Amino acid sequence: MRARYEIEEMARGAWQVVFKELPPGVSSARVLSEVGALLNPQPKPGKKVIEQAAAQLKALMASQLDRARDESGKDDDVRLVFEPSSSRIDRNEFVALLLAHTSLETSAPINLVAVGIDGRPCQKSLADLIGEWCSFRIRTVHRRTEFRLQKADDRIHILEGRHIVFLNIDEVIRIIRESDDPKRALIARFTLSDRQAEDILEIRLRQLARLEGIRIEQELAKLRGEREGLVRLLGSDTLLRRQVIREIRADAEKHGDARRTILLAAATASRSEVAAVADEPVTVIISEKGWARVRQGHNLDLSGVVFKDGDRAGSAQECRSVDSLVILSTEGRAFTLAVASLPDGRGMGAPLSSFVELGTGKVAHVLTGLPEDELLVAKTSGYGFICTYADLLSRQKAGKAFLSVEEGATILPPLRLAGKDHLAALSEDGRLLIFPLEQMKRLSAGKGVQIIGLHDDESLRAVVAIQGDRVTIKGMFRNRIKTLLSEDRHLGQRARRGSPVGQLGQVTLAAYPE
């Protein structure tokens, strides 16, 4: 059930949507209350912040709707007015937003319990009811036609007997006057039936007039024509159905009135098809303790960003307001969060754990990207694989299982692979292995394949994607930072042990492009 509305044009190209009829059981106050709840959502019991979907819808509604008011009165029983924030907003999308998230469009449940043709009460669909009613009408018209045919045959039978009387009236009178049993005599003489003979004997003298004979012939001709039509109707299912249709149309013209509820083919205003959030460049700021906020624009000076006591800057992701943020937990689960649902940068932000259900895990890494972006996901256990950013996306608040993390292993920062053709892996004991990127396996989820050969007590310190087969390694040597260039001996095949990088200690940074 959808409210009726019209778009009123105003001065200087402005316009507004006016609803003048509401679905049954819906009031103007209820609709305005729903709009207010959308613009000012409240956290659920036990939660400190509003849910992601509510925050996103709030931003969407605030960007589309400027004002809503009730102008109902003596001139108009219902007059709900909605003014868009800009006349440039798409009108259909604006109306769809209102219909999808308020009671301006609602459903009307009907409990169709009825006694069907089988005589048993049960719940039926509308199609079942109409189908049974049509079957009942066809059966009714068929039975009525059979009844009429029976009556016509009976009347024809009587009239045929009377017609014999008028053709032989003198002889009939003589038999009746002279015979001791005139009924049997008439049956024997004119081959009549018992009913015909009984009817002849009960005819009044006034019915023997010549004019009556003409009427009998006319009625016989009419009945025989009607009988022929009834027989033809009973012998053809198509003709019978056409007769039912004609009767229904005739009844509709005679007894029907103008429809007051408009029936139109239309799709339900889907909540996923309404206008999207304004597409603009934004920067997501994430602290070390996982607090996130959004500021408009790219290439921002973040030196003045203030964090909570004991917290500091973590990472900054440049993206679009319509993008999705992926949170990778320490347990290997991937969570998707709409960037538009994050708080703006005027405050301290909100913890990412309040938007998703991390469970016993913690935030390991946060990243953004396009669905087709290729990433390398690796663990300190020495395993990893290549995936796309789309493989990380999930619609579930509880996320999805993405990466199998071995006991004691941690997830290294995911690497973007655009324009890269080699992979350099550095083990904890200072062994370096460089191999072609094409040797890595592409998966959508799982444990991955071995990147570098490690002993039981070893781990993968760092991995980097590079263009070419040379990298530089930075480390400490005699309390001074020293840089070494990789050599041919570091080149090999995936899953090999690699070769030492030299006498470097405290290797804190992995490979950098040469």
Position 234 pLDDT exceeds 60: yes
* Confidence band of 506 (pLDDT split at 50, 70, 90): low
* Co-location of 476 and 434 in the same domain: yes
- Name the helix (H) or strand (E) containing 38: helix 28-39
CATH assignment at residue 434? 2.120.10.90
Distance CA 425, CA 380 (A): 11
- Calculate mean pLDDT across residues 479-504: 82
**Hey, what are 368's tokens?**
């953004």
Position 274 pLDDT exceeds 50: no
* Co-location of 307 and 236 in the same domain: no
Other C-beta atoms within 10 Å of 279: how many?
10
* Co-location of 378 and 354 in the same domain: no
- Calculate mean pLDDT across residues 426-447: 92
The most confident of 268-282, 411-425, 473-487, by mean pLDDT: 411-425
403, part of any domain? no
- Calculate mean pLDDT across residues 431-436: 92
- Name the residue among 172, 201, 146, 17 with its Cα closest to residue 92: 17
* Co-location of 251 and 134 in the same domain: yes
Last residue of a domain, one of 101, 134, 155: 101
**Parallel/antiparallel/unpaired status of strands 431-436 and 499-500:** antiparallel
* Co-location of 231 and 286 in the same domain: no
**Hey, what are 158's tokens?**
């009587």
Which three-class secondary structure state does DSSP give residue 315? strand
- For the four alpha carbons of 35, 40, 43 and 49, in that order, the dihedral sign comes to positive
268, part of any domain? no
* Co-location of 380 and 501 in the same domain: yes
397, part of any domain? no
What local confidence, expressed as pLDDT, does residue 52 receive? Answer: 63
113, part of any domain? no
140, part of any domain? yes
Single-letter amino acid code for the residue at 235:
G
400, part of any domain? no
* Co-location of 242 and 358 in the same domain: no
Can you give the residue range of the structural domain that contains 217?
125-255
What local confidence, expressed as pLDDT, does residue 61 receive? Answer: 86
478, part of any domain? yes
Position 297 pLDDT exceeds 70: yes
- Calculate mean pLDDT across residues 449-478: 85
* Co-location of 148 and 232 in the same domain: yes
* Co-location of 97 and 137 in the same domain: no
* Co-location of 422 and 508 in the same domain: yes
Range in 139-153, 262-276, 484-498 with the lowest mean pLDDT = 262-276
Angle between helices 28-39 and 52-64 (to 10 degrees): 110
* Confidence band of 271 (pLDDT split at 50, 70, 90): low
Position 508 pLDDT exceeds 50: no
**Parallel/antiparallel/unpaired status of strands 422-427 and 460-466:** antiparallel
CATH assignment at residue 200? 1.10.268.10
HSE, side-chain direction, 13 A CA sphere, residue 364? 21
- Calculate mean pLDDT across residues 346-360: 82
Q: Which DSSP state fits 438?
A: G
**Tell me: the pLDDT tens digits for 200-228?**
888 886 776 767 788 888 999 999 999 99
Other C-beta atoms within 10 Å of 363: how many?
21
- Name the residue among 465, 469, 477, 461 with its Cα closest to residue 510: 461
**Parallel/antiparallel/unpaired status of strands 324-329 and 363-367:** antiparallel
Query: Does the predicted model carry a pTM greater than 0.75?
Result: no
Position 509 pLDDT exceeds 60: no
Q: Which of residues 439 and 117 earns the better pLDDT score?
A: 439
Position 273 pLDDT exceeds 50: no
What local confidence, expressed as pLDDT, does residue 141 receive? Answer: 96
Position 105 pLDDT exceeds 90: yes
Judge whether 386 and 417 are in contact, CB under 8 Å. Answer: yes
**Tell me: the pLDDT tens digits for 43-102?**
888 777 777 677 778 878 888 899 999 999 888 899 999 999 989 888 988 999 999 899
Single-letter amino acid code for the residue at 311:
D
Mean pLDDT of the chain: 88
What local confidence, expressed as pLDDT, does residue 503 receive? Answer: 61
Q: Which residue has the tokens 């045919």?
A: 149
What local confidence, expressed as pLDDT, does residue 352 receive? Answer: 87
* Co-location of 461 and 431 in the same domain: yes
Report how many domains make up the chain.
4
What local confidence, expressed as pLDDT, does residue 483 receive? Answer: 76
117, part of any domain? no
Range in 146-160, 221-235, 258-272 with the lowest mean pLDDT = 258-272
- Calculate mean pLDDT across residues 489-506: 82
- Calculate mean pLDDT across residues 320-337: 91
Distance CA 22, CA 28 (A): 8
* Co-location of 43 and 134 in the same domain: no
Position 302 pLDDT exceeds 90: no
* Confidence band of 277 (pLDDT split at 50, 70, 90): low
Complete DSSP assignment for 86-97: -TTS-HHHHHHH
* Confidence band of 242 (pLDDT split at 50, 70, 90): very high
CATH assignment at residue 63? 3.30.1360.40
